[in-house]
Amino acid sequence: MKTYLVTGGAGFIGSNFVLYMLRKHDDIRIVNVDALTYAGNLENLASIEGDDRHVFLHADIRDEKAMSDALATYQPDYVINFAAESHVDRSIADPGIFADTNVMGTVNLLNCCRAAWDDGKGGFGDHRYLQVGTDEVYGTLAIPEKINPDGSPADPEHTDYFRETTPLNPHSPYSASKTSADLFVKAYHDTYGFPAVITRCSNNYGPFQFPEKLIPLMIHNALNHRELPVYGDGLNVRDWLYVDDHCKAIDMVATGGRLGEVYNVGGHNERANIYIVKTIIAEVAKVTGDEAVNEGLIRHVTDRAGHDRRYGMAPDKIREELGWYPETPYEEGIVKTIRWYLDNPEWVDHVTSGSYQEYYARMYDGR
């Protein structure tokens, strides 16, 4: 039985990964470490309550003793680091916490793993560490001259994409912190031979995503007849990746990726933000029959500072080396996601109460 220590495993992608792994593999144990900040939610893991293959530890990756104790107690074969502050708007408001958690937290985790796994002879056995990164470290791409109505490139073969060799060029405090973390992981591999690999994913969506991100925010607001705030002209483009497809990629890279390498994970689902919002309106109106859910709810607000124009990933390397490919087209994934939010109103109510309302007012009122 292999043991995985998963940090940030009560967050959006982390909890989906825990659930995915326990569905797909019978012979594993997951030690789930989460600080339970605003985006960490144990309700995400309610379906595996009582499963003895899952152990939860309430701890922070910045806590050296807690991490060292977890590694000594459970002796994981794999460490998968999801733990991070991840929202660009929050990073613009408070960059320091992003540097502290995303950079120093990662360095602490690396140090603890290195100490626990070092055999004293320059080796680390069969252990592996995977850093979950983001496409935002690459900066921004230009919108192609020819695009489809949904914002995707009309001529994909002659369009620029982010590749693993693309220079790192972060534009927000969030992406700068994730870039720094990736570079520390790379440095530990290059300097100490530490057994690390890095994935960089495009925008995820799916169940359990906290409604400060575009898709769950628009679903939640549409259902409640609230304005749908769209930054600027709404023509910023992102490459959308259904979260289960991402979990599959992490599983494959953790066990089969070449150490010291970076693997881009993208959905080949580029869509403009305004198109995303309009498809959510149409689907929510269709499912609920609510005529008040319409495009009149859209409100264009002042654009985000330093807002990257386009992200587009080339996941050629992971496909060629490991056989991974995204299975979920956006048009299918968005319907599944909307249906999940409609079917889980209690979860939504719990995560959108109290401090969330204060955050929402701070981000959007008066823009």
- Alpha carbon 262 to chain centroid, angstroms: 16
Please, what is the average pLDDT of the chain? 92
Is 332 one of the annotated active-site residues of the chain?
no
CA distance linking residue 315 with residue 162, whole number of Å: 9
* Separation between Cα atoms, residue 183 and residue 198, nearest integer Å: 10
pLDDT, tens digit (0-9, with 9 covering 90-100), for 165-191: 999 999 999 999 999 999 999 999 999
Q: Which of 238, 240, 249 is nearest to 325 (CA)?
A: 249
Point out the catalytic residue in the list 136, 182, 251, 308. 136
Q: Quick one: which of 96, 102, 17, 99 has its CA closest to 61?
A: 102
| Spatial contact of 15 and 243, defined as CB atoms under 8 Å apart | no
- Residue 10 · residue 241 · CB < 8 Å: no
* Model pLDDT for residues 207-228, shown as the tens digit of each residue: 999 887 899 999 999 999 999 9
Q: Is 119 assigned a catalytic role? A: no
Q: What does the block give as tokens for 204?
A: 């995820």
Indicate the burial class of 95 (C-beta count within 10 angstroms; 0-12, 13-18, 19 or more).
middle
Q: Which of 77, 85, 135, 283 is catalytic?
A: 135
Rounded CA separation 117/130 (Å): 14
**Domain with residues 2-209+241-271+311-330, CATH architecture:** 3-Layer(aba) Sandwich (3.40)
* 356 in catalytic set: no
Taking residues 70-85, what's their average pLDDT?
A: 96
pLDDT digits (tens, 9 = 90+) for 244-299: 999 999 999 999 999 999 999 998 899 999 999 999 999 999 999 999 999 999 99
Specify the pLDDT at position 20: 98
Confidence of residue 303 (pLDDT cuts 50, 70, 90): confident
Is residue 26 within 8 Å of 47, Cβ to Cβ? no
Express as a percent the part of the chain with pLDDT over 70. 96
Q: At what angle do helices 214-223 and 273-288 cross, to 10 degrees?
A: 40
Taking the complete model, does pTM exceed 0.75, yes or no? yes
Among 78, 129, 174, 311, the active-site one is: 174
pLDDT in tens, 80-138: 999 998 777 788 888 998 998 999 999 999 999 999 999 988 899 999 999 999 999 99
Contact 230, 273 (CB under 8 A): yes
* Cβ partners under 8 Å of residue 1, min gap 6: 27, 28, 29
